[in-house]
Chains A and B, each alone.
Chain A
Amino acid sequence: MSEQLTTVDGRPLKQALASAERTKRIRAVLLVMPLFIFIFVSFLYPIALMLYRSVENPLIAQHMPKTLATLEDWDGESIPDEETFAALAQDLVKARESREIGKVATRLNFETPGLRSVITGSARSAGRWEPPYKEKFLDRRKEWGELETWATIKRLGPTITTVNYLAAVDRQYNVDGEVVMVGEDYRIYVDLFMRTLWMSVVVTVSCLILGFPIAYMLASLPLRHSNLLMILVLLPFWTSLLVRTTSWIVLLQTQGVLNDLMVWSGIIDDAQRIQLIFNAQGTVIAMTQILLPFMVLPLYSVMKTIPPSYLRAAESLGAHRFLAFWRIYVPNTLPGVGAGCLLVFILAIGYYITPALVGGQDGQMISNMIAFHMQKSLNWGLAAALGGILLVGVIILYWLYNKLVGIDRLKLG
């Protein structure tokens, strides 16, 4: 026991082994480093940035510091006094000179519609005004005499804010600072989240129902037939998403191939052509076809590994064919089913192009709203909040899947 094992050159074996291991580890780390850096720069960092954007709110604090300071002790029940108006005049004039007034105005306008022109208009005039300011502001725009205007400015004072997340679930602060639902005619996101979830579930289930038999057939046919059929699964998979979506428009539109066929064969009258696309069902149809390979491929790879002898054994022990299939085969495919469903569902929930093209009025999903706020309304904070909620939703689902099925059982191929 006392004698230590050594290598040929006399180093203790333990040490030599450890150093060999260390070199290996370092090499491994160095090998994954490029990928890790890539993922960090192109994925993790932007996501962190997006989440930060959904709560950051520096504009008002930066450009209306004096106004905010005087509003600190404001009771919220009466129009502020001259001191606040004087501070407001200074802030507005300064923000106008630095050409930042538009950003301030836009930010406030997201919160309380109409404030944009109140801010920019007053800022234009305020440069020419002499004290006292209160009357002049009130004359210029009646909004300065409304508590809501002041409550909005004060509420957006802190540099970290929750208003984007509230807006993303159809809620807002009222004058008293309580969280309330927005007006009935203006609610949109909660329903949209629900619809996105619902449509993703429908697409996933449709993919499973359509994909399972295909995968089963592919897995049980002899290789030379199944390879040929596999091409049929993969060809659309390799075809551009836009091309496939547009082909669905050609097929399904009211003057399209399917309707033409039905009219020609007399199933429907020319005047009663069916609206198959530019609505929710069109989106579901197109998305199901586009996502189908993501279901078939994991299913196929799992089914391929199930030895046919299992089924034969069950049958030889007296099980009916159907029972053997249901009790022996299907449970063995579950890792594939889980992987396929998870993959399709997560892809579906963030789907953008297809709903945008064929969604019409009721087939839009939450990602279309995110794109709208990124590209059109430029309300990036709200877009980030909507994206953040979507991200958390997906993570919860993933966690749930891990709990129920176990992520180690996930088989993608």
Chain B
Amino acid sequence: MITKLKITTFVAAGALALGAFAATPASAADSLTVVSWGGAYTKSQVEAYHKPFTKKTGIEILSENYSGGLAEVKAQVEAGSVKWDVVDVELSDAIRGCDEGLLEPIDPSILPPAPDGTPAEKDFIDGAITDCAVASIVWSTIYAYDKKQFKDGGPKTMADFFDLKKFPGKRGMRKTPKANLEMALAADGVPPSEVYDVLSTDAGIDRAFAKLDTIKDSVVWWEAGAQPPQLLADGEVAMTTAYNGRIFNAIAAEGKAFEIVWDAQVFDMDLFVIVKGAPNKKAALDFIAFATDTQRLADQAEWISYGPARKSSEPLIGKHAEAGIEMGPHMPTAADNFKTAIQNDFEFWADRQDELNNRFNSWLAN
């Protein structure tokens, strides 16, 4: 099994350079491959974007899942055998992929204006349109707990997450320094607006790791977005960081008694990009323009609690399509939730992620 896996990797690596293995993709103009993160999130996209798009244009959409990162995009581009058209990526990957020439530039003029005529570039929130990418949602890393485990009142602030005395029990955290360092500093009393200033100094990094040290022995590390709701449901952890949409989905679709704590949420964007040399570039551009219009973004928010990247979509959001819950208050961007929000600083992470990943891994192992 393992040998087989290894060989597959090698074959992949070999094919990459050879280009000989690369089967030419059948570039049927009437289909489009859209790659996203799977689970409840992909479902929201299929319902809000894919189905209406196919209905309107007749172009079939093949939905594929991946777990983030640019590795596969890079492999496809370097092998000259691009099979993916549109990919849903995080902001840091959208910028980095664009810098490294892995993505097609997207001309923002293809994006339709808001219903009231506001041009797209003004309608999208800050940073949502970049050279190669158009954002669809705002998502957030928050922490959540199971109300059943805290009958006398649960945690309220980020500091509570790091307070093992007041709220004993295991903690779930994503196995990466990103968002964890920000949360640690916020818990240590750094105001949200100053988090990255502090993190930019060596003393600040030490301070964040020192704060993480206080709960290190109680942490269960997760990697895939589907894990934290499971950890909570199994009672493996008392509280866990998670993507807000996944927790909401567990509440809405599975009736779990989870509660989200929005204090010091770290929010980020997901964007659509087109892989360089995509077989159906024209259709891909059409799809992105279609999917990120005002109505479509509002529609998606009725399937999962991620905020739309257009300001004009906000008033159009209604109730959850299946559970009938009013979606507005569950959005990361809702006023009550947004007070202490920290925006993920792409520049900071692009510069420091290799170094901080090393430090984080070294910290974990010792």
Q: Give the B-binding residues of A (Cβ under 8 A).
A: 41-43, 45-47, 49-50, 99-103, 105-106, 109-110, 113-117, 120, 182, 185-188, 191-192, 195, 240-241, 253-255, 278, 347, 350-353, 360-362, 364, 369, 372, 374-379
Contact = CB atoms under 8 A, between A and B. Distances in A.
A116 B350 contact: yes
Contacts of B2: 241, 347, 350-353
A255 B232 CA distance: 11
Contacts of A372: 357, 361
A278 B350 contact: no
Nearest to B220: A278
Nearest to B362: A188
13 contacts: A49-B14, A49-B17, A103-B101, A113-B355, A116-B351, A185-B209, A185-B362, A186-B358, A192-B365, A347-B3, A352-B2, A361-B365, A364-B364
Contacts of A241: 1-2
A106 B101 CA distance: 12
Contact of A374 (B71, B220, B352, B363): B71
What band does the interface of chain B fall in when counting residues whose beta carbon is under 8 Å from A? 35 or more
Contacts of B101: 99-100, 102-103
B351 A117 contact: yes
A102 B96 contact: yes
A149 B70 CA distance: 27
> Which of A99, A103, A114, A192 has the most chain B CB atoms inside 10 A of its CB?
A99
Contacts of A109: 350-351, 354
Given A43-B7, A113-B351, A278-B221, A376 B362 contact: no
Nearest to B11: A42
A377 B236 CA distance: 30
Given A106-B96, A278-B220, A375-B69, A45 B354 contact: no
Given A45-B14, A106-B99, A113-B352, A253 B236 contact: yes
Contacts of B350: 109, 116-117
Nearest to A96: B99
B353 interface: yes
B75 to A, nearest CB: 9
Interface string B167-193: 000100001000000000000000000
A99 B104 CA distance: 11
Contacts of A100: 101
B236 A254 contact: yes
A192 B361 CA distance: 10
A43 B70 CA distance: 24
Contacts of A375: 69, 71
Contacts of B352: 113-114
Nearest to A101: B99
B234 interface: yes
B94 to A, nearest CB: 12
Contacts of B220: 278, 360
Contacts of B354: 109-110, 113, 377, 379
Contact of B14 (A42, A105, A185): A42
B150 interface: no
Contacts of A49: 13-14, 17
B14 A377 contact: no
A42 B236 contact: no
B11 A46 contact: yes
A286 B186 CA distance: 38
B10 A376 contact: no
B86 interface: no
B108 interface: no
Interface in B1-23: 1-3, 5-7, 10-11, 13-14, 17-18
A132 to B, nearest CB: 27
B347 interface: yes
B113 interface: no
A187 B170 CA distance: 27
| Interface of B, helix, strand, loop or mixed by DSSP | helix
A255 B14 CA distance: 44
Contacts of A105: 99
A192 B13 CA distance: 24
Contact of A47 (B10, B209, B347, B361): B10
B10 A362 contact: no
B100 A106 contact: yes
Interface string B60-74: 000000000111001
B138 interface: no
Contacts of B3: 347
B14 A186 contact: no
B235 interface: yes
Contacts of B235: 255
Nearest to A111: B354
A41 B1 contact: no
A9 to B, nearest CB: 47
Interface in B312-366: 347, 350-355, 357-359, 361-366
Nearest to B276: A99
A351 B5 CA distance: 10
What 6 A-B pairs are tightest by C-beta distance, nearest first?
A102-B99, A113-B355, A46-B14, A46-B10, A102-B100, A375-B71
A50 B99 contact: no
A289 B362 CA distance: 28
Contacts of A47: 10
A254 B234 CA distance: 10
B98 interface: yes
Contacts of A376: 69, 71, 357
A362 B10 CA distance: 27
B236 A255 contact: yes
A237 to B, nearest CB: 9
Nearest to A118: B351
Nearest to A115: B351
A241 B6 CA distance: 14
Contacts of B351: 109, 113-117
Contacts of A352: 2, 5
Contacts of B99: 99, 101-103, 105-106, 120
B221 A191 contact: no
A120 B175 CA distance: 29
A254 B236 CA distance: 7
A50 B365 contact: no
A42 B16 CA distance: 11
B234 A255 contact: yes
Contact of A186 (B219, B347, B359, B364): B359
B105 to A, nearest CB: 9
Interface string B253-285: 000000000000000000000000000000000
Contacts of A374: 71
A43 B10 contact: yes
Given A362-B364, A376-B357, 10 more contacts: A46-B14, A101-B99, A103-B100, A106-B96, A109-B354, A185-B363, A186-B358, A254-B236, A361-B364, A376-B69
A185 B359 contact: yes
A125 to B, nearest CB: 15
